[in-house]
């Protein structure tokens, strides 16, 4: 873990963006299409920690981007080149555009300043979406990554951020996957090689500190 000074240097509100990945009702909400993942996100405390981080970002001037995965009712443009996509088509809850399933899930609160980016294809919140261009226009240097799942979308986001020259910061207790014990192993053996790791409380300590003139 980085020192407080190192972390404070990384988390400058003017050049930091907080990304929430697929924290939508149809994924982590009570009526989730993926109940095991939703349960992991809630029982681990990850979803509550994401809500805390978002609230602190709102209070400190850090931009928040919510990355949502959805599909058109007719399925146009959606991937069909992996088992994951075929399985998703058979789930009882569909992440369809315009439905409650693709709204950001409680207890996360979305402010008017937040940006919601919706993708219709692929596995990554960054590749093939508006997120990279938005980050550059926002002057982002550090991307704080939270959300689900540790199995697919979160690693994709981290790798894509690093490949594009951003400093990725993974909030270790604000990420969830299945099975629940897979997440810390994946973070330790994979994401730790390319990203800075910090806990929610460590990040909050930097966001809430007084700034020097």
**pLDDT single digits (tens) 99-112:** 999 999 999 999 99
- 3-state DSSP assignment of residue 10: helix
According to the model, what pLDDT value does residue 213 have? Answer: 41
Model confidence at 3: pLDDT above 90 = no
Query: What pTM was estimated for this model as a whole?
Result: 0.95
Model confidence at 1: pLDDT above 80 = no
What is the distance between the alpha carbons of residues 120 and 97, in angstroms, rounded to a whole number? 9
What is the distance between the alpha carbons of residues 3 and 8, in angstroms, rounded to a whole number? 8
**Chain segment 178-206, per-residue pLDDT in tens:** 999 999 999 999 999 999 999 999 999 99
């Amino acid at each position: 873990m980085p020192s407080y000074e190192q972390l404070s240097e990384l988390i400058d509100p003017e050049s930091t963006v907080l990304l929430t990945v697929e924290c939508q009702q149809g994924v982590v909400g009570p009526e989730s299409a993926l109940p095991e993942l939703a349960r992991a996100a809630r029982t681990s405390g990850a979803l509550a920690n994401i809500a805390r981080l978002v609230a602190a970002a709102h209070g400190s001037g850090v931009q928040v981007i919510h990355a949502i995965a959805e599909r058109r009712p007719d399925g146009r443009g959606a991937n069909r080149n992996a088992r994951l996509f075929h399985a998703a088509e058979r789930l009882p809850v569909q992440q369809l555009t315009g439905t409650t399933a693709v709204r950001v899930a409680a207890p996360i609160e979305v402010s008017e300043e937040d940006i919601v980016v919706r993708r219709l294809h692929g596995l990554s919140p960054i590749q093939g979406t508006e997120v990279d261009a938005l980050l550059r226009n926002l002057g982002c240097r550090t991307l704080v990554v939270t959300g689900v799942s540790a199995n697919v979308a979160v690693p994709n986001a981290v790798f894509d951020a690093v490949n594009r020259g951003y400093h990725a910061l993974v909030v270790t207790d604000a990420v969830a996957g299945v099975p629940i014990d897979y997440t810390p192993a994946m973070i330790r053996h994979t994401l730790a090689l390319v990203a800075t790791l910090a806990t929610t409380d460590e990040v909050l300590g930097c966001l809430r500190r007084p700034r020097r003139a």
